[in-house]
Chain A
Amino acid sequence: MKTQRKILATLMGLVLISGCNPRAPGHGVFLLIDTSGTYTEELAKARAIVNFLLGRLGPGDSFGVARIDSGSFSEKDILVRMTFDERPSVANDQKRQFKQQVDDFTSRISSSSHTDITGGMLQGVEWLNEVGPGRKTILVFSDMEEDLAAGQVRDFPIDMMGVDVIALNVTKLRSDNVDPREYLNRLQAWEARVVDGGGTWRVINDLERIEAIMDN
């Protein structure tokens, strides 16, 4: 009888310990901001998205913002990255700092000559895997037109297992207006690339529906 009780107590203890996860799954969001060409004009919208996400992300969540420039697969392009503290008051202070850093960046940004979206995505996946949140999201604030510098190799599959990729504010180029199929083909190509890598793909052009970013 005593042995049975001991076993029961041990099992209950194990159940409690297994249920007691010191690190919550959380949500990791990595925002890539296109800084090439005329897209810099859209940066005010990018700031609004950052502010929205800061309002929605909670303690224990992770948030990173990086720029897409001529060579985005670089630590230097990550502007801010933070895992918010478990205590709500500390997390709020961190968010204020985060906003300040993003504001500073957008006020002194310079346009880049090329657009390395793949590099940025690789950087994002790498960071999210390193942080290890329960839910991983990469937001790409870009027209999704990749323009690589000479010699850059990016035509290889990317492992995006468990990553939700959301393209935001995908503006139409002049050539897209001439032949809309270019725009559709561009998005289809990215979708195929993300889905083949094990991720999911969504496009949100209407920023009034920005709430959908946080939907599962």
Chain B
Amino acid sequence: MPSGMLIWPDNPGLSALTWVLLAVVAMYAARAPAHRAIRGFTRVISRSARLLSHSMMQLQGRMSERSREILLQHGMENSDRQIQREFERISTSVSRDLGSYPSLHRKLSDHVTKLDEDYRKSTDTPPDPPGWASALEMANQLVDKAEGDKSVGKAIQALHKGFQEAYDTTMSTYRQQSQERHGMLKRMRPVWKNVDETLIKVDGTVTGILERGQHIDQMMDTYREISGKTDRAERLLGSSALTQFLISGLVLAIACLGGFINFQLIALPMSEMVGATSQLGGMKTSAVAALVIIMVEITMGLFLMESLRITRLFPIIGSMDERTRKRMMWATFGILLTLASIESSLAYMRDLLAADRASLSQVLSGIQASEPEFRWIPAVGQMVMGFILPFALTFVAIPLESFVHSARVVLSHAVEGILRLVAFLFRLIGSLVRYLGDGLVNVYDIVIFLPLKVEELILSGRAVKTATKNADAAAG
């Protein structure tokens, strides 16, 4: 205790006790305003925290609503695009496979008519064998009976012979006609086959269209759900967005590695073109130039994918008229091809530089410089890589589009989660502070329990006296 506070300098204990008693008395005297101050202060903090929590939840709600709208909007656009593409496919299929259906139908009709005619022609009309047989039998009997009469016998024999010859001729003609009919039926086989093939083809096309129709039905159901803004649609789209985010992020990471390899391939030879010493913003100009080339390649790849209508990152390209779009597609492809060729030559130059450097190192180390065997293999490999990588990087546009769209949703969900957490923390702080205020009031009362007890005793004594007086008065 500071010496200035010692009431009795010789007795610090007594001084301290005196101060404590004075403090308790002062606290007792200021009990009501002190309680109000403690409760007021904690209430301000508690209410502010709850207000902040409420604001956070409101913000989160607005964000959630906005995020939901974006998600559903994107889902609808996507679904719309898929349905449109499916219709385009059906249209292509119909115009390709069924466009020639009238002529196919005519051909089929011709085939069927021909088949019908041929079939009719091939109908079997055999002679009446029993009639011929009985006539010949009768002739034979007559020949036997007329053995005595030679002239009759000769006449009957001539008749029998004539019958026999006529029978043979008829049978021969019949056999010939049968053979012809068989030949006709044989010739009908490829026509039947043709008809069968044509029908199978038509069946395949129609089945394909039906399947596509069913697929479109499913997509239309999804579209209806999304346009109806159902919770199921939102859940499905949200889950899909997270999957897309992860997968496209992974693919982009792989693409970044590819870009890094591409950079390593052309950074050294670029120093032959722009010099190895100049710098741009703290980076070697050759490295910047290599980066610029890679960036231009990626940009051209994006434009190419947009022109092909594979991605839709730039609506202005998608809305171009067909002619301009095709021109742009060829222009970007041309630039990409040129850049790939440049990269290939740079990759070859890199190999030459590396070989020159290795040779110099050998000379400086006192080793006889030698030409390694199969040195052409890495040179060719580097050239091919230099040519292929720019085209491979073109496909970055597809995961990039997915990443951009899904990142918007996923980040929005993440921010919502953070906001919910912060709101919860503020609410928790508010409650804690409120209970802390009550606790502090109780602690305050514990400190001044002695005067409070005295007050309680006095008040209860007074109450007893008043009750006794009232009872006496009532009795008197």
Contacts and interface: CB of A to CB of B under 8 A. Distances in A.
Contacts of A52: 364
A24 interface: yes
A87 B275 contact: yes
Interface string A52-85: 1011001110000000000000000000000000
- B contact face: mostly helix, strand, loop, or mixed: helix
Contact of B276 (A22, A88, A99): A88
A42 B2 CA distance: 80
Contacts of B278: 20-24, 86
Interface in A92-147: 92, 95-96, 99
Interface residues of B, number: 22
B457 interface: no
Interface string A165-182: 000000000000000000
A187 to B, nearest CB: 30
Interface in A32-53: 51-52
Interface residues of A, number: 25
B353 interface: yes
A45 to B, nearest CB: 13
B360 interface: yes
B364 A55 contact: yes
Given A92-B356, A95-B360, A96-B363, A87 B271 contact: yes
A54 B276 contact: no
Given A96-B360, A99-B363, A24 B353 contact: no
B285 interface: yes
A52 B366 CA distance: 11
A91 B277 CA distance: 12
A185 interface: no
B365 A23 contact: no
Contact of B353 (A51, A89, A96): A89
B285 A20 contact: yes
B298 to A, nearest CB: 22
Nearest to A18: B281
B279 interface: yes
Contact of A92 (B268, B282, B360, B366): B360
Contacts of B272: 87-89
Given A20-B285, A88-B353, A59 B275 contact: yes
B276 A59 contact: yes
Interface string A11-24: 00001100111111
Interface string B407-441: 00000000000000000000000000000000000
Given A87-B271, A88-B271, A88-B272, A19 B280 contact: yes
A47 to B, nearest CB: 9
A92 B360 CA distance: 7
A51 B360 CA distance: 10
B277 A51 contact: no
Contacts of B465: none
A197 interface: no
Contact of B357 (A21, A60, A88, A99): A88
A19 B281 contact: yes
A29 to B, nearest CB: 15
B271 A16 contact: no
B468 interface: no
B364 A54 contact: yes
Interface string B339-379: 00000000000001100110011011110000000000000
Contacts of B357: 88, 92
Given A51-B365, A92-B360, A19 B282 contact: yes
A162 interface: no
A26 interface: yes
A44 to B, nearest CB: 11
A142 B161 CA distance: 145
Interface in B366-394: 366
Contacts of A96: 360, 363
A86 B360 contact: no
Nearest to B366: A51
B292 to A, nearest CB: 13
Nearest to B282: A19
Nearest to B361: A55
A20 B282 CA distance: 9
A86 B363 contact: no
A131 to B, nearest CB: 13
B98 to A, nearest CB: 59
B363 A20 contact: no
A133 B436 CA distance: 69
Contacts of A87: 271-272, 275-276
Contacts of A89: 272, 352-353, 356
A96 B366 CA distance: 12
Contacts of B356: 88-89, 92
A91 B275 CA distance: 11
B123 to A, nearest CB: 93
Interface centre among B280, B357, B364 (most CB of A within 10 A): B364
Nearest to A26: B277
A15 B281 CA distance: 8
A25 to B, nearest CB: 8
Nearest to A52: B364
B253 to A, nearest CB: 30
A22 B356 CA distance: 25
A58 B285 CA distance: 15
B281 A86 contact: no
Nearest to B365: A51
21 contacts: A15-B281, A16-B280, A19-B279, A19-B281, A21-B278, A24-B279, A26-B277, A51-B366, A55-B361, A55-B364, A59-B271, A59-B276, A60-B275, A60-B277, A86-B276, A86-B278, A88-B272, A88-B353, A88-B357, A89-B353, A92-B360
Nearest first, the 3 closest Cβ-Cβ pairs linking A and B are A24-B277, A60-B277, A86-B275
Given A21-B279, A86-B271, A86-B276, 7 more contacts: A51-B366, A59-B275, A60-B275, A87-B271, A88-B268, A88-B357, A89-B353
